[in-house]
């Protein structure tokens, strides 16, 4: 299949359904050879990754399924090795696999924390660490780390999820710095879409306006050879594309003898940087109404 990603090899984790499925199909439609990774099975007991591979093959694309878990170092290596074994290289990495264990923080325990950190944050590290030397050797790489508005702005009952997703942005910032000299561009994407994992968090009437396919153009752009940006945090959903930024306010420089207490309001004043409103469900409903 021809396209802007022809002959490129992509790995997409958590690609058996929802956003990951859309990402894998979208990359394949642009000519990429895709490793479709997912550990899930459907109601019939079939690996969801295999079902997505069938969709890609029927459309004339090239793909292979992988069912290793990102939650261990060995799993991350096996996923990357699948790309090397089947297609000979890895050019694009989309770290998308995820789970939730939602609980208000006071009522949560290790069972709501450890698995989420293992899949999201540690899993992203396992994949990047396995793919990095191969991309570095080739002098080319496109790494897309999937974060979340929950990480950027928080969300009730999602302490572990938000912590992992913000940690992913920290990792992306470092990899963007270290990878640029080797032609490896690393960016983050915070998607807003209706998926099996997110549907319960969206207000009535909003879900149908946020299909996963309306996020996928961001993945295709961040995977493309003509990309010239690294270290960005994109936010995408419902056909809306923007970027999030970590800004710093002017603050105050204390003169000799001045007390911090006397200038505390000025230290906390972020009005000069015009921070955006958190993307909570009510804000999203207002944005996509009408």
Report pLDDT for 249: 84
| Pairing status of strand 92-95 against strand 233-237 | unpaired
Which neighbouring-strand residues pair with 144? 94, 187
Q: Which pLDDT belongs to residue 235?
A: 96
**pLDDT mean over 140-146:** 98
| 71-117 residue pLDDT tens | 999 999 999 999 999 999 999 999 999 988 989 999 999 999 999 99
- Across the chain, what does the average pLDDT equal? 92
Q: Which residues pair with 284 in a beta bridge?
A: none
Q: Residue 150 and residue 277: Cα distance in Å, rounded? A: 13
Question: Between residues 216 and 210, which one has the greater pLDDT?
Answer: 216
- List the structure tokens of 263: 């200038």
User: 242-280: per-residue pLDDT in tens?
Assistant: 999 988 888 999 999 999 999 999 998 888 765 555 666
Residue span(s) of the chain under CATH 3.40.50.720 come to 9-246
pLDDT at residue 189 above 60? Answer: yes
Give 139 or 155, the one with higher predicted confidence: 139
Selected from 3.40.50.720, 3.30.70.3040, 3.40.50.300, 3.30.930.10, the CATH number assigned to the domain covering 9-246 reads 3.40.50.720
What pTM does this model have?
0.91
From 23, 105, 161, 182, the catalytic residue:
161
CB neighbourhood size of 282 (10 A): 12
Active site residue 23: no
**Residues facing 66 on adjacent strands:** 37
Looking only at the bridges linking them, the beta strands covering 141-146 and 184-191 are parallel
């Amino acid at each position: 299949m021809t396209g802007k990603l022809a002959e490129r090899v992509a790995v997409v984790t958590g690609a058996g359904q929802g956003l990951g499925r859309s990402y894998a199909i979208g990359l394949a439609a642009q000519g990429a050879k895709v490793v479709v990774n997912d550990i899930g099975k459907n109601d019939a007991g079939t690996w969801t990754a295999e079902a997505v591979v069938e969709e890609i093959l029927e459309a004339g694309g090239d793909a292979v399924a992988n069912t290793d878990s990102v939650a261990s170092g060995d799993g991350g290596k096996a996923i990357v090795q699948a790309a090397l074994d089947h297609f000979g290289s890895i050019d694009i990495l989309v770290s998308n696999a995820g789970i939730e264990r939602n609980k208000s923080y006071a009522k949560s325990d290790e069972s709501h924390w450890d698995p989420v950190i293992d899949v999201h944050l540690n899993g992203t590290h396992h994949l990047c660490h396995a793919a990095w030397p191969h991309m570095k050797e080739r002098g080319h790489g496109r790494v897309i780390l999937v974060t979340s508005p929950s990480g950027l702005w928080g969300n009730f009952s999602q302490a572990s999820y938000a912590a992992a997703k913000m940690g992913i942005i920290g990792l992306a910032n470092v990899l963007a710095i270290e990878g640029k000299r080797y032609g490896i561009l690393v960016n983050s994407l915070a998607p807003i879409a209706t998926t099996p994992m997110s549907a319960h968090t969206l207000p009535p009437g909003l879900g149908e306006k946020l299909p996963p396919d309306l996020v996928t153009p961001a993945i295709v752009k961040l995977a493309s050879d003509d990309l010239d940006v690294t270290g960005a945090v994109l936010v995408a959903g419902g056909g809306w594309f923007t970027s999030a930024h970590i800004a710093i306010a002017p603050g105050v420089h204390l003169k000799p003898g001045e007390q911090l207490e006397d200038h505390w309001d000025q230290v906390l004043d972020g009005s000069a940087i015009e921070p955006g409103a958190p993307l909570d469900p009510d804000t999203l409903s207002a944005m996509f109404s009408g």
